[in-house]
């Protein structure tokens, strides 16, 4: 399993999040995931919104566009993202011409 700190941005929004790719690397990981009700799908990303401690492994469980779109993007691009990267929802959706800059990591 791999953990990355992610800054999620949208219109007037900055969200600190933890993204965990739940891909098994050791025998114990497989057992852990199966005991927890998960398969061994290598694209599964558990996203945790730090403030409020809300978390989902399914992007469609988020109740707002920001977290839904960010989760989908993170799941599709997890291996390309670096720890402490910024995910800009407006930029991803083509609503802005350039990505925002970080408010957390300057």
**pLDDT tens sequence across 19-62:** 999 876 777 777 777 777 776 666 689 999 999 999 999 999 99
What mean pLDDT is predicted for residues 55-84? 96
CB 18 within 8 A of CB 48: yes
Centre a 10 Å sphere on the Cβ of residue 73 and count the other Cβ atoms it contains: 20
Q: What is the pLDDT of residue 61?
A: 96
Q: Which helix (H) or strand (E) holds 76?
A: helix 65-77
Compute the average pLDDT of residues 63-87: 97
pLDDT value of residue 42: 61
Query: Strands, E, within the chain: which ranges?
Result: 2-10, 13-21, 45-49, 54-56, 85-88
Q: Label residue 104 by pLDDT band (50, 70, 90).
A: confident
What pTM, to 2 d.p., does this model score? 0.87
Task: Kindly report, residue by residue over 78-90, the tens digit of the pLDDT.
Answer: 999 999 999 999 9
State in Å, rounded, how far the first CA of the chain is from the last one: 27
């Amino acid at each position: 399993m791999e953990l990355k700190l992610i800054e999620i941005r949208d219109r007037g929004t900055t969200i600190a999040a933890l993204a965990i790719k739940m891909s098994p690397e050791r025998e114990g990981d497989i057992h852990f995931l199966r005991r927890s009700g998960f398969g061994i799908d290598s694209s599964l990303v558990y996203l945790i919104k730090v403030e409020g401690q809300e978390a989902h492994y399914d992007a469609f469980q988020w109740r707002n566009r920001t977290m839904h779109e960010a989760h989908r993007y993170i799941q599709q691009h997890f291996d390309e993202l670096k720890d402490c990267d910024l995910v800009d929802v407006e930029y991803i959706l083509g609503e802005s011409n350039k990505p925002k800059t970080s408010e957390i990591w300057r």
